[in-house]
Structure 1
Amino acid sequence: MTRMRADLLLLLVAFIWGTAFVAQKSANEHMGPVSFVGLRFLLSFIAVAPLALREHCRKYRPSLSKGDLALAGLIGFFLFTGAVLQQIGLVSTSATNGGFLTALYVIFVPFVVWVITGAPPKFVVLVAGAVSIAGAWLLTEKGQFQRWSGGDTLVLVADLAWAGAISLIPVFLRRVERPFFLVFAQHGVVAFCGLIAGLSFESFSTEGVTSALPALLYAGLCSGGIAYTLQILAQKYTPPAEAALILSLESVFAALSGAALLSERLTPSAMLGCALIFLGVILVEVGPIRKAVPD
């Protein structure tokens, strides 16, 4: 796979995640946020199981060490933490604050990678990240941040978890080329932790699950089963900081899907915000595009 194809896959991931944001918000009306996370990733776990099994049955598959298993578990824990904190945060934070704060993981990823690998972030990545954050700010309601709440803190901490997961994925893939195992393992960790915590601390009813079923199916099969798998496959070829910038287009697709499905109005400043986020992605794509075009 080429870098450009990997980036296009990440663009598709951002589209799926952005449209899933509507489903995630609606699910909170019918069931507990932690239970929702557990069930959606249980569906994802089941969906990717055949791919993981096929990979396991390959004749020349790389073996997994205890360190590899521990790293996969850590990535799954980061994913669980990010998903749960974001879902709980959506209950109490405003859409204005939540949309902006979620985009901040674009800034966190280069510095998390710096801590993990010792490689400082590229200047163009920092500039592109700043441009994308400015765009995310304009996507908020009239470019104004509303009063800080506990939900905002949860969404901000979730950003650190997302950044940790995005940064560690290529570390795992460099150690052992088992992408489908990694998807399978991280979904298993999230499903197990989410269901245990959800059943322990939240009320659970079949009526609530039935009402949230469309959201569960879309978030579980499309956002989890398809998008997370494509993300891991693509991150073998796209560096994590650049991948985070492409994935930040999730906020653009969330705004567009909100306008299309929830009749939310896109203001001129919001449309400018979308354009700035696209510009941030284009800035980090200039290098790969120039390499792909022969002289």
Structure 2
Amino acid sequence: MNRLRADLLLLLVACIWGAAFIAQKQANENMGPVSFVGLRFLLSWMMLAPVAFYEHVKNGRRPLRGADVALAGLIGLCLFAGASLQQMGLVATTATNGGFLTALYVILVPVIVWAVTGARPRGMVLFASLLSIAGSWLITETGHFEQWSRGDALILIADVAWAGAISLAPIFLSRTDRPFFLAFTQYGVTAVLGLMIGLGSEPLSSEGVIAALPSIFFAGLCSGGFAYTLQILAQRYTPPAEAALILSLESVFAALSGAILLSERLTGSAFLGCALILLGVILAEAAATLRAIRFRVRRRTPG
């Protein structure tokens, strides 16, 4: 796989995640948010089990180190924290606030990468991230932030977890060629913690679960088992900051999904916001392409 294909996979992931936002909101009407997270990632875990087992057999002669397993577990904790806090936040905040706050992880990723690896974020990446945040602001229904709530705080904390998962995944993948093990571990950690905490603290009925089954299956199989796995595969080739920018298109696809599936009206400012996010992604990708071209030219130039 090359960089272009990886970026296209991330674009597909953003599209699926944007559509899943509607399923997540509908699930909260029928069951507890953490229980929903546990059930959806249980499906994701079951979906990845055969592929992860095949990968294990294929790489059986190269056992994982304890540090690698611990890092995969830490990334799993980030996924659980991000998914659970976001789902809980959607119960207690408006879609306007939630859509804007979720996009803030874009600016956190280069900061975390800098703190962990020492690699300074490039100026174009930071500029593109700011464009993405401005675009997300304009996509909101009213174009201004409504009254602060507990749900807003939860989604803001979730951004840190999302950024941590995106930033740490390439470190794991650079150490070991086991992307499916990472996905399998993430889903397992999230499913176990989600079910333990959800079943212990939230009311759950068979009627509610049955009503939420379409959301559980879409979020568990499409958004989780398929899209999250594609994200991990693609991050072997796309740097974290650029990956976060492409994934920020999730808010664009969420707005389009709402317009198509829920007959929500997109304002002129929302269309401008979508354009700004897309422009940020294009600028970051163009800068990466120019760097690659200059690098190849320097290698071919004698002396």
Name the TM-score class by shorter chain.
over 0.9
Please name the residue that 1:31 is paired with: 31
Amino acid at match of 1:247: L
Please name the residue that 1:78 is paired with: 78
Provide structure 2 residue ranges, at least 5 long, that are not aligned to the other structure: 298-303
CA–CA separation in structure 2 for the residues paired with 1:226 and 1:61 = 27
Deviation at 1:62, TM superposition (A): 3.2
CA–CA separation in structure 2 for the residues paired with 1:203 and 1:90 = 18
Query: CA separation of 1:61/1:244 partners in 2, compared to 1, >3 Å: closer, same or farther?
Result: farther
SS in 2 for 1:57: helix
Query: CA separation of 1:288/1:111 partners in 2, compared to 1, >3 Å: closer, same or farther?
Result: closer
How many equivalent pairs are there?
Answer: 295
* Deviation digits for residues 239-280 of structure 1 (CA, Å, limit 9, x no counterpart): 001000000000000000000011110000000000000001
CA–CA separation in structure 1 for the residues paired with 2:122 and 2:143 = 28
Amino acid at match of 2:245: L
Amino acid at match of 1:62: R
SS in 1 for 2:147: coil
Amino acid at match of 1:119: A
Provide structure 1 residue ranges, at least 5 long, that are not aligned to the other structure: none
Contact 1:40–1:224 (CA under 8 A) maintained in structure 2: yes
Equivalent residue runs for 1:186-265 within 5 Å: 186-265=186-265
* Deviation digits for residues 187-235 of structure 1 (CA, Å, limit 9, x no counterpart): 0000000000011000111111100000000000000000011000000
- How big is the alpha-carbon RMSD for the aligned residues of Structure 1 and Structure 2? 1.4
SS in 2 for 1:41: helix
Equivalent residue runs for 1:3-152 within 5 Å: 3-58=3-58, 62-152=62-152
Contact 2:96–2:142 (CA under 8 A) maintained in structure 1: no
Contact 1:35–1:198 (CA under 8 A) maintained in structure 2: yes
CA–CA separation in structure 1 for the residues paired with 2:288 and 2:125 = 13
SS in 1 for 2:126: helix
Runs of 4+ with deviation above 6 angstroms: 292-295
Query: CA separation of 1:27/1:59 partners in 2, compared to 1, >3 Å: closer, same or farther?
Result: closer
CA–CA separation in structure 2 for the residues paired with 1:208 and 1:14 = 28
Deviation at 1:292, TM superposition (A): 7.5
CA–CA separation in structure 2 for the residues paired with 1:213 and 1:292 = 48
Deviation at 1:59, TM superposition (A): 5.3
Deviation at 1:289, TM superposition (A): 4.1
Higher alpha-carbon deviation: 282-291 or 99-108: 282-291
SS in 2 for 1:142: coil
CA–CA separation in structure 2 for the residues paired with 1:34 and 1:131 = 32
CA–CA separation in structure 2 for the residues paired with 1:51 and 1:165 = 21
CA–CA separation in structure 1 for the residues paired with 2:225 and 2:113 = 26
Deviation at 1:287, TM superposition (A): 3.4
Question: Percent of aligned pairs with the same residue?
Answer: 67
CA–CA separation in structure 2 for the residues paired with 1:16 and 1:289 = 26
SS in 1 for 2:173: helix
Deviation at 1:26, TM superposition (A): 0.1
Give the TM-score normalised by structure 1. 0.98
Query: CA separation of 1:94/1:121 partners in 2, compared to 1, >3 Å: closer, same or farther?
Result: same
